[in-house]
Amino acid sequence: MRPSHFIMPTQSYKHKRQAEEAREAKEANQDKRFAVMEDHTRAAVLAMYDVLDSQHPGHVIPGYDRDHAERTTRVVLTVARALGMSETRLADLELIALLHDLGRAGMDPKLFGAIFGLAQERGLPVRIRELLTRYPEVAEEQAPAYFLDLISPALHEQGLETTEQLRDHIAMRMNFKGRLRGLLKEREPELRALGLELKPFMETVMLYYYYPEGMETADEDVRLMGMILVACENFEAFNNWRRGRDYYGRAKERLSDVFEALAKFEADGLVSSVVMATLRRLTTSGDLDAIIKESRGVSPGSPLPDEDLAFQRSGR
């Protein structure tokens, strides 16, 4: 005989628990769909985000963006597989996604956040496309120096000196192409030793977010790779609590806010409706829950907040 305080689980409770167990099983299986390359190779590629500290010999600056790159890659491959990309293109896309933010290796998040947070406060452009659109008389190669001229009075007010490190951090946004190109060239021998090839179109895909004009003559599948990368890297960034606190000025991450921000990329033509619909479907189905939780620094066993679960149920 059961004790008097025993309560028989209701049917709704059983359904809820079954749904939770199914979601947990789905999250546990997500990593199995991740990699095309071997674990040790992927780890070696991600280690390229760590760079020697020129100001402190013997010290290494940990790669601020390496976790973002790893999670972005998992989202990218999940979306690409859902879109039916071939194994060859998946392998290409994995290397692209792992390296897409290498142009910011060596970043000090406090300094980076101070520069571009201040620029946002003052209404200044914070990305090269914005700067060149607002000031069409400025040539691309002039962008870093022009931005420094714009931001210098505000930096001076905050007591920030114009050091080489500060100039380098400005280049991480205003000359991302040059910085990425230089670091890829520097790392190419290491990549070859790992059996990895940097194909000519890969740089174009990595740079698509900042330099979309480079895609004008690209093949259709290369354009699709660029769209997937832009959608997925920003999906991770808008869910990333560390980036949110360090320089986006966010207090909280919500799926509704994530997709509101992503809608602007679709409106600008950077991402197609097909890519956006696929990313949204994978989000609302729970296929990306494990990655979302990692991005937010949430325990794998914890459920998403009620407002996110409501967003998923709505299928919006």
Residue 55, judged by CB atoms within 10 A of its CB (0-12, 13-18, 19+), counts as: exposed
* Mean pLDDT computed over every residue of the chain: 89
Cα–Cα distance list, 77 to 42, 92, 259 (Å): 14, 10, 19
Question: According to the model, what pLDDT value does residue 99 have?
Answer: 98
Question: What is the model's pTM?
Answer: 0.87
44-103 pLDDT, tens per residue? Answer: 999 999 988 777 787 888 999 999 999 999 999 999 999 999 999 999 999 999 999 999
In this model, does residue 14 exceed pLDDT 80? no
CA–CA dist 111, 243 (Å, integer): 13
pLDDT band at 146 (very low <50, low <70, confident <90, very high): very high
Question: According to the model, what pLDDT value does residue 252 have?
Answer: 94
Q: How large is the average pLDDT for residues 230-235?
A: 98
In this model, does residue 11 exceed pLDDT 70? no
- Residue 54: helix, strand or coil by DSSP? coil
Question: According to the model, what pLDDT value does residue 60 have?
Answer: 85
In the chain, domain spans: 30-314
- Look up tokens 């597989």; give the residue: 81
**More confident position, 28 or 251:** 251
In this model, does residue 217 exceed pLDDT 60? yes
27-36 pLDDT, tens per residue? Answer: 545 444 555 7
pLDDT band at 9 (very low <50, low <70, confident <90, very high): very low
In this model, does residue 43 exceed pLDDT 70? yes
- Cβ-Cβ contacts under 8 Å for 153 (sequence gap 6 or more): none
DSSP per-residue string spanning 167-215:
HHHHHHHHTHHHHHHHHHHHHHHHHHHTT----HHHHHHHTTTT-GGGG
Q: How large is the average pLDDT for residues 280-303?
A: 95
Give the least confident one: 11-20, 88-97, 206-215.
Answer: 11-20
In this model, does residue 8 exceed pLDDT 90? no
Question: According to the model, what pLDDT value does residue 5 have?
Answer: 41
Give the least confident one: 31-35, 188-192, 256-260, 312-316.
Answer: 31-35
176-198 pLDDT, tens per residue? Answer: 999 999 999 999 999 999 999 99
For the chain, what percent of residues have pLDDT higher than 90? Answer: 82
268-286 pLDDT, tens per residue? Answer: 999 999 999 999 999 999 9
pLDDT band at 153 (very low <50, low <70, confident <90, very high): very high
**More confident position, 87 or 6:** 87
Question: According to the model, what pLDDT value does residue 155 have?
Answer: 96
